[in-house]
Chains A and B, each alone.
Chain A
Amino acid sequence: MPERRLVSGNYAAAYGALRANVKFIAAFPITPQTFIVEHISEFVNDGIMKAEFMRVESEHSAISATVSAEATGVRSFTATASQGLALMHEILAIPAPLRLPIVMPVVNRTVAAPIGIWAEYNDVMPQRDLGWMMMFVEDNQEVFDMIIQGYRIAEDKRVLLPFMPNLDAFILSHTYEPVEFADQDDIDDFLPEYKAEHAHLWPDDPMAIGVFSPPEYIQEYRYQTEQAMEASKKVIKEVNDEFAKEFGRDYHGLVEEFMTDDAEAIMITLGTVTSTARKVVMDMRKEGKKVGLVKLRFLRPFPKEELRKIAEKVDAIGVYDRSISYSAGGPAFVEVRNALYGMEKPVIGYLAGLGGRDVMYSDIKLMFEKTLEAAGKGKADKEVVWVGTRGVNP
């Protein structure tokens, strides 16, 4: 029987590592990720998690050791947030071209300045171009499930790329929700033991991993990494469907649609804001307003084809962002608009909740109303709209 417990997002992540039979962890604490490290320490010290655990002296070392352990051929795990992720940046570029299927949850938190500890995506967005699969979860069940699915997807021979589930600081990391943990046997059937055939550091079968490479070779690394990222789209869907069949929870793969079929205006959201947006959609539908919602689960690989198909159906698209790329707009907005190039539909970027400010029901309603208005007019008054900012009229 699956076990159901009330746990925090951080616990769900740590327990996911345990249930995924991770053999190596290196980690360093940072608010709001700290409890992941503490829970793993408890699991290891209580003997319920049989893994090597390096309590390293920095996040730079955490990811370095994790990369080397994965290169040695064992299933490896780390977790971080914010400044820690920024400190890792150099090493985050390593595992994808070396095809090392690490899973690393990131608890999204503001990167200074100003220093703050609440939810913002300005930690993760600067890491988009390094070859990690990146997805955003909505609740604690999804945290746990995506650690398990994450290893299955990452270790698939068609993929072999690192995997980064993102969870919102405090809203998930420190909030208790009921989470169902499947039986270990069922998880083991779904996620078999990792066999490191393509990359290992075993003296009985020597390999050089991470060698100095002249330009004659690097461009092909890039091309193959890109191909693997594209191939992951299919694998993500397959794994999603198999997981849904096995465990009864269907996340719909790269994107999840909600009431988009006859919608005039849709919002595209990342992370926990999606739950509020779903409620707004239901209420506005009661008022006869034709709105819909797309939960953008994966930012990498980027679901361009799926978004274009959805955009065909609607008249205007709003995109919610919890971080800004200065002078360009929110990163998700920029990417969606790019994907919809040539479709001649208004796309509006909404910035709200930066630095962890609460994104209210009324904020999201305003986003829908503005997008509906653009749908009616066939154009947007403003491309980038700041919502809930003192002294700024949205």
Chain B
Amino acid sequence: MSSTKITIHDLPKENLFTGGHTACPGCGAAILVRNAMKVFGKNTVIYTPANCLLVFGGTYPNISWKVPYHHVAFENTAVCSAGIKRALKASGKDDALVVGFAGDGGTADIGMQALSGAAERNEDILYIMYDNEAYMNTGIQRSGSTPYGAWTTTTPAGKVIKGKERFKKDVPQIMIAHNVPYVATASIAYPTDLLTKLEKAKNMKGFRYLQVYSTCPTGWRVPPEKTVEVAKKAVETGMWTLYEYENGKMTINVKPKLDENGNLAVPVRDYLKMQGRFRHMTDAQIETLQKWVNEKWKRDLALEKALQ
């Protein structure tokens, strides 16, 4: 799994996703998209479904995209991107890269059917889910990707039920189960890892899936200047595992610190306390989440070992 590392210093100056967009300060999705476009270059076509990115980057007449850009609806990112790619092929423009940028709602929930279909058909597209762990565009509602315990406007911290009762859906593992050429997780706090994965995915054929941790200061109740810090802590606590799956092999790219017993060394509480969305959580809830993280980490390790 060797490939040359790409750092932010390797990126061109020109923005193909320009400034002047209307994302909130500190928006992780905006950081991702701006840098990803520098990796992809001009020979790219972009699809976005309904989400924050549609609104902050694609509102007429202030379009931030300097490449062909398309939107149809919310639940069809994978199939519309595939339709574009097939049509480019039919018109002799097969060398162009087609990228779908969707949120977690557009991916883990309403877009899952089209995503699964396109993955099974091994459509030649790059699908990127920016994971801000809720439906932000409609005002912070829970998604399948929202973590346990989190406050959202549909999982309020009520007197009886506090926050989300279910755990985060593991979409990358669902994609691995489709046996596509490339599946990876990444984070805006680990730019070299992220850019290297983007470059690799850009140059591959077939269905590629990337899920990128993208802090949402507005929805998570985090100060904008803490965007990167929070994202780092997610990896350190094991809440987010950075890995890639390529040609049937899985590799964890960044291993969190472990204690002498091999357990995660940084408690999940350190991550939770940085964010208003977890403020209401009881000790019992935090313990439940810690247990889940411990198990998830063990499972990720076991999967890495199994998929060699």
Contacts and interface: CB of A to CB of B under 8 A. Distances in A.
The residue in A60, A61, A66, A200 that gathers the most chain B C-beta atoms within 10 A of its C-beta is A61
Interface in B67-88: 67-73, 75-76, 79-84, 86-88
B154 interface: no
B117 A57 contact: yes
A52 B84 contact: no
Interface stretch (A126-134, A143-151, A202-210, A314-322): A202-210
Interface stretch (A5-13, A69-77, A153-161, A289-297): A69-77
Interface string A205-232: 0111111111001000000000000000
B54 A60 contact: no
B72 A68 contact: yes
B58 interface: yes
Contacts of A56: 79, 117, 121
A76 B71 contact: no
Contacts of B43: 203
Contacts, number: 149
B59 A206 contact: no
Contacts of B68: 200-203, 206-209
B84 A69 contact: yes
Contact of B70 (A71, A91, A214): A71
A310 interface: no
B113 interface: yes
A300 B90 CA distance: 31
A65 interface: yes
A211 B79 contact: no
A61 B72 CA distance: 11
B129 interface: no
Contact of A91 (B73, B89, B120): B73
Interface in B39-63: 42-45, 47, 54-55, 58-60, 63
Nearest to B58: A211
B87 A74 contact: yes
Contacts of B73: 64, 90-91, 94
What bracket does the count of chain B residues touching chain A fall in?
A: 35 or more
Contacts of B221: none
B91 interface: yes
Interface in B109-149: 113-114, 116-117, 120-121
Q: Is the interface of B mostly helix, strand, loop or mixed?
A: mixed
A202 B45 CA distance: 8
B80 A67 contact: yes
Contact of B54 (A61, A73, A212): A212
A208 B83 contact: no
Given A203-B43, A210-B70, A24 B93 contact: no
A208 B60 CA distance: 9
Interface string A36-72: 0000000000000001101111101100111111111
A91 B75 CA distance: 10
B69 A64 contact: no
B78 to A, nearest CB: 8
B289 interface: no
Contacts of B82: 54, 65
A146 to B, nearest CB: 24
B162 interface: no
Contacts of B249: none
B76 A74 contact: no
A26 B90 CA distance: 13
B81 A211 contact: no
Ranked nearest first, the 8 interchain pairs of A and B with the lowest CB-CB distance are A57-B117, A65-B83, A68-B83, A72-B87, A69-B87, A64-B76, A210-B71, A52-B86
Given A54-B121, A58-B117, A66-B83, 4 more contacts: A69-B83, A91-B76, A202-B93, A214-B59
